[in-house]
């Protein structure tokens, strides 16, 4: 509905221009602290970063590579480590745990001489592989707002790295299944590490969800050598191929010729408790296995938990999970099972603006032995195939799917899909060769601010189509709600929506991944979702060249906005030895470094107000 209660008239910042250079850009009257960079110590005693002497053991004590999702988890100064229940009630905006994904490594930007070594022999050293594996995963770092800006606290008992060596449990319907068993883990219930950690989500009981997205590239080998044709098809579908990166040469579990089931232990959502530094993360197999962008929660007292997620690949699906039991704000132990008992659904977007959630349950409809499914484990391991059989709508690469807490509608970021042909467009994916991406609005039944996210049906509409609203080529022409083209400034348009966040006033903040193809940096654009200014973006932040911006995250008071600048100086023939620039340090002794920024208004008022 068009209730003008959120967002309107409160995005008063001075818009920045589309640009492309070696700097990051903010509106006048805003500042950014460079809070955490690749290689920065996060454990007391680790010295200054020296990329020339970096070891895997050193990397385990330092901030990892290619920061992506960020969760700010407030700290209650009265509570101790392990008391997640109390910490999760805190609304602190000045002290908390910054929980940051490290999606993937780029060795040509991390190591001197790597390109020569790689192209000459493909015989990359075991030590480089071990450093890469220690640079992936996640970091938990206590941070504090001080008189000198935001700072990490290296002595904190919470600080921790999660890497490809961290032991994790596998829970849910696929746990223990024969397709998850390996020689190192005949139980199929214990796995080391996580990779491809893109976006994620938070729970109101104080845990963090992190996604395993592009895991296929970590595995090498030829799926056609696997006898079971459905398993070969499964491995192909995630891009596992003989020419993938060389981790399997040194760590044989990443070689499917040695461990054909290891890939089935990746591609899940991972949950961990940042408030308990001794806790073991767990992979939640009832959220399905695919290239997860993330899962974000809608949590209402005495109602089921609803979580939304996207599968970031061409022609893949939007998913929703509904817990079996209801959320009880005071019942921590009870709530810990909400993400392990429930039902996953895939979305069908119908031509008339309605939609339906299709349950992914073994034995129902086509999800039977006739189609190769033995049990619910198979449905979850091959959930993309199951969703396609149910008739879910193949989408233009769903990235973040997140609910605006003010109007209670859910927004789907569809980044692009150049593989969509003219004869397979539909109302929800209306462009052939979609290079610009778009955003859909899902409106569950019910009133403004109080909608039923667990219902089987919904309404949907196109919130915006990325691109310049004045473009001559209709295939690239943007459309922003009901705004006239003249209402969008020359710098207000964008393409390739990826991550999204909502500020406390209900404004949408979209992070992009791909705008350099259109001549300007990736960055952040903010807009109202209701009222006169609905879907009218204003440009707030710009990345240094080569980077995308990920993980926008507000503190509860809206006064700090954390962003993760990922893969700065990536592109062309940029390498460690000859980088396109050296953001953020601009020091000839240091390479470009993916970094988290803490952005705030210099007068202390909420960001965007």
Identify what 318 binds: ligand FEO, Ca ion, none; CB under 5 to 8 Å per kind. Answer: none
How far are the Cα atoms of 79, 326, 350, 546 from residue 17, in angstroms, in the given order? 45, 46, 38, 17
- Residue 312 Cβ vs ligand FEO, minimum distance, rounded to whole Å: 3
Q: Which is nearer to ligand FEO, 60 or 213 (CB)?
A: 213
Residue 190 to residue 277: CA distance in whole angstroms? 19
- Residue 564 Cβ vs Ca ion, minimum distance, rounded to whole Å: 9
Token digits of residue 386: 């199951």
| Residue corresponding to tokens 């909400």 | 338
Identify what 213 binds: Ca ion, ligand FEO, none; CB under 5 to 8 Å per kind. Answer: ligand FEO
Q: Which is nearer to Ca ion, 212 or 498 (CB)?
A: 498
Q: Taking the CB of residue 76, how many other CB atoms lie within 10 A of it?
A: 18
| Helix/strand/coil for 512 | strand
Residues 41-60 binding Ca ion (CB under 5 A) are none
Q: Which is nearer to ligand FEO, 213 or 441 (CB)?
A: 213
Closest-CA residue to 554 (of 416, 448, 402, 398): 402
Residue 572 to residue 555: CA distance in whole angstroms? 36
- Residue 328 Cβ vs Ca ion, minimum distance, rounded to whole Å: 32
CB 479 within 8 A of CB 494: no
**198: contact with Ca ion by CB under 5 A:** yes
Q: Which is nearer to Ca ion, 182 or 595 (CB)?
A: 595
Residue 212 to residue 348: CA distance in whole angstroms? 24
Question: Which sign, positive or negative, has the C-alpha torsion 158, 564, 581, 134?
Answer: positive
Residue 14 to residue 492: CA distance in whole angstroms? 11
Q: Which is nearer to ligand FEO, 198 or 389 (CB)?
A: 198
- Residue 400 Cβ vs ligand FEO, minimum distance, rounded to whole Å: 8
Residue 481 to residue 475: CA distance in whole angstroms? 17
**570: contact with Ca ion by CB under 5 A:** no
- The residues, ordered by sequence, that sit 6+ positions from 468 with a Cβ below 8 Å of its Cβ are 476, 477, 478, 493, 518
Identify what 185 binds: ligand FEO, Ca ion, none; CB under 5 to 8 Å per kind. Answer: none
- Residue 171 Cβ vs Ca ion, minimum distance, rounded to whole Å: 25
Q: Taking the CB of residue 182, how many other CB atoms lie within 10 A of it?
A: 18
| Residue corresponding to tokens 């979850």 | 380
Residue 470 to residue 486: CA distance in whole angstroms? 8
Taking CB under 5 A as the binding criterion, the range among 192-200, 260-268, 269-277, 357-365 that sits at the site for Ca ion is: 192-200
- Residue 339 Cβ vs ligand FEO, minimum distance, rounded to whole Å: 21
How far are the Cα atoms of 159, 280, 543 from residue 520, in angstroms, in the given order? 36, 42, 9
* Nearest residue to the partner Ca ion, using Cβ: 513
Q: Which is nearer to ligand FEO, 213 or 476 (CB)?
A: 213
Binding site for ligand FEO (CB under 6 A): 103, 198, 213, 293, 312, 399, 498
Q: Which is nearer to ligand FEO, 387 or 406 (CB)?
A: 387
**553: contact with Ca ion by CB under 5 A:** no
- Residue 363 Cβ vs ligand FEO, minimum distance, rounded to whole Å: 32
- Residue 568 Cβ vs Ca ion, minimum distance, rounded to whole Å: 12
**516: contact with Ca ion by CB under 5 A:** no
Q: Which is nearer to Ca ion, 102 or 282 (CB)?
A: 102
Q: Which is nearer to Ca ion, 513 or 530 (CB)?
A: 513
Identify what 33 binds: Ca ion, ligand FEO, none; CB under 5 to 8 Å per kind. Answer: none
**498: contact with Ca ion by CB under 5 A:** yes
Identify what 599 binds: ligand FEO, Ca ion, none; CB under 5 to 8 Å per kind. Answer: none
- The number of residues in the chain equals 609
**513: contact with Ca ion by CB under 5 A:** yes
- Residue 50 Cβ vs ligand FEO, minimum distance, rounded to whole Å: 29
Q: Between vectors from CA 263 to CA 437 and to CA 131, what angle results, nearest 5°? A: 85
Residue 575 to residue 379: CA distance in whole angstroms? 42
- Residue 399 Cβ vs Ca ion, minimum distance, rounded to whole Å: 5
Q: Which is nearer to ligand FEO, 74 or 437 (CB)?
A: 437
Query: Could you report how far apart the first and last alpha carbons of the chain are, in Å?
Result: 24
Binding site residues, Ca ion, CB under 5 A: 198, 498, 513
């Amino acid at each position: 509905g068009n209730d003008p209660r959120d967002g309107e008239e409160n995005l008063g910042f001075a818009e920045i221009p589309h640009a492309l250079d070696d700097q990051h850009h903010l509106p006048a009257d805003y500042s950014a602290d460079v809070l955490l960079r690749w290689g920065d110590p996060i454990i007391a005693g680790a010295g200054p970063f020296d990329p020339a002497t970096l070891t895997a053991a050193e990397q385990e004590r330092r901030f990892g590579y290619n920061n992506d999702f960020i969760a700010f988890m407030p700290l209650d100064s009265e509570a101790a480590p392990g008391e997640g229940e109390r910490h999760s009630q805190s609304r602190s905006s000045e002290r908390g745990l910054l929980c940051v994904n490290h999606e993937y490594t780029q060795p040509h930007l991390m190591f001197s001489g790597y390109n020569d070594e790689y192209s000459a022999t493909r015989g990359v050293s075991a030590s480089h592989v071990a450093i890469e594996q220690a640079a992936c995963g996640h970091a938990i770092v206590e941070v504090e707002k001080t008189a000198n800006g935001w700072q990490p606290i290296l002595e904190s008992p919470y600080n921790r790295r999660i890497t490809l060596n961290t032991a994790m449990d596998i829970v849910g319907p696929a746990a223990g299944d024969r397709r998850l068993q390996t020689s190192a883990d005949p139980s199929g219930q214990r796995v080391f590490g996580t990779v491809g950690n893109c976006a994620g989500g938070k729970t109101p009981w104080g845990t963090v969800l992190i996604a395993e997205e592009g895991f296929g590239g970590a595995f090498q080998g030829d799926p056609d050598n696997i006898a079971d044709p459905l398993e070969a098809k499964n491995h192909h579908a995630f891009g596992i191929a003989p020419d993938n990166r060389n981790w399997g040469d040194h760590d044989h579990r990443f070689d499917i010729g040695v461990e054909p089931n290891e890939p089935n232990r990746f591609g899940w959502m991972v949950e961990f408790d940042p408030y308990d530094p001794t806790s073991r993360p767990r992979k939640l197999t009832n959220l399905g296995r695919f290239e997860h962008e993330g899962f974000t929660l809608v949590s209402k007292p005495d109602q089921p938990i609803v979580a939304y997620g996207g599968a970031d690949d061409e022609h893949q699906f939007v998913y929703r999970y509904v817990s079996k039991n209801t959320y009880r704000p005071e019942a921590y132990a009870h709530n810990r099972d909400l993400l392990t008992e429930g039902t996953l659904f895939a979305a069908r977007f119908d031509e008339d603006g309605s939609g339906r959630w299709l349950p992914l349950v073994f034995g129902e409809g086509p999800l039977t032995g006739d189609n190769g499914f033995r049990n619910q484990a198979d449905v979850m391991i091959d959930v993309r195939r199951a969703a396609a059989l149910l008739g879910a709508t193949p989408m233009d690469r769903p990235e973040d799917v997140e609910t605006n807490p003010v109007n209670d509608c859910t927004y789907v970021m569809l980044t692009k899909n150049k593989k969509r042909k003219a004869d397979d467009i539909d109302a929800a994916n209306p462009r052939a060769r979609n290079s610009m991406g778009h955003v859909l609005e899902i409106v569950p039944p019910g009133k403004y601010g109080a909608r039923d996210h667990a219902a089987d049906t919904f309404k949907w509409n196109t919130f915006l189509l990325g691109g310049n609203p004045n473009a001559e080529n209709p295939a690239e022409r943007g459309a922003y709600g009901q705004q006239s083209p003249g209402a969008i400034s020359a710098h207000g348009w964008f393409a390739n929506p990826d991550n999204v966040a909502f500020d406390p006033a209900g404004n949408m903040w979209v992070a992009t991944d791909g705008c350099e193809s259109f001549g300007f940096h990736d960055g952040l654009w903010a807009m109202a979702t209701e009222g006169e200014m609905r879907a009218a973006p204003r440009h707030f932040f710009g990345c240094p060249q080569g980077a995308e911006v990920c993980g926008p995250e507000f503190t509860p008071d809206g006064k700090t906005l954390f962003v993760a600048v990922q893969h700065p100086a990536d592109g062309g023939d940029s390498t460690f030895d000859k980088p396109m620039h050296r953001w953020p340090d601009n020091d000839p002794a240091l390479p470009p470094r993916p970094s988290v920024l803490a952005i705030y208004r210099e007068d202390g008022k909420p960001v965007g107000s």
